Structures are given as C-alpha cells and as structure tokens.
Amino acid sequence: MTLESLAEQVKQCTRCELRQGATQPVMGIGNVNSKYLLLGEAPGRNEDRSGIPFVGLAGKRLDELLALAGIDPNDCYFTNVCKCRPPSNKTPRKAFIKACWRWLAQEIKLVQPEYIVTLGATPLSLFTETGVSQLHGTMFTAELNIEEEQC
C-alpha cells in the first residue's frame, strides 16, 4: 500500500456520517520520510475546502513554533485523527475516531515516524488516558497498538 492508494480508499469511505457533511476528506501531507508526524484532531473549515491539513492561521502558527524548536516544517508529516471535518468544528465523537482509526493506522505504518507529536486532547487520547493538562510540554513513550479496532 502507498499513501496515494490509501487516499483513494479514504475518498470512498462511508464508515461514519462525517463524510456526508465534508467537502472532501483531508489526508496527511509532507515528508513521508520524516521522523516527525504531527497529529491534529480533525480538519477545520480551511482544510475541508483545500483538502490540505494545517492551512490557514493555525498552520502558519504551527510552522512558526516548529521553526522556534529548530524543526523545518518541510521535514515533517502532518495529518489528523479524523479525515473529515466534524460539523461546526466540534470535537469528534469516539465513533468518528474509531471509524477513521484504520486510515490513521495505515498512515503511521507507511510514514514510520520516530516521534508522533500530538496536537491537542483528541490525538493524545489515542496514546494515554492522562489528560493534556498533565502532559502539556512533556515527552513520553507510549506503545501504539496499530490494530484496526483499537479505539
């Protein structure tokens, strides 16, 4: 499997109702050989329209923060837990996360990053039950069981 073939499968996905309200699914983008995979929650309005994750003001700010950390954004891979925009940019329900898990698991297998940087509570919840307020700004090691029905 390649990221391109995975993207084609995601375009055909009907595992949850998020696809019905989205303009298009938003797959990851960036350096597929990166040691950094930056993982957000779900596409927002700008991402839904463009089909590209982390665009707009939030994406620009993320690029600035990466540069401050000495990381070139061009050396990163960016993706989201959910591939389609939730209505009104709400936090995705567990059912949506579970429906998208197979796509994210395949992305992680294909990119094989050394580090997964979780950007928010939803992506963090895939790795630990500890809340974001306790782990904010820390690095930790977690086992990621990439099984389709994990969530």
Residue ranges of domains in the chain, CATH in brackets: 3-135 (3.40.470.10)
Beta-strand pair 76-80/29-30:
antiparallel
Report the predicted TM-score, pTM, of the whole model to 2 decimal places. 0.89
Mean pLDDT of 89-118: 93
Sign of the alpha-carbon dihedral angle for 99, 112, 91, 124: positive
Tell me which residue of 148, 146, 126, 145 sits closest to 135, measured CA to CA.
Answer: 126
Q: What is the pLDDT of residues 14-48, one digit of tens each?
A: 888 888 888 999 999 999 999 999 999 999 999 99
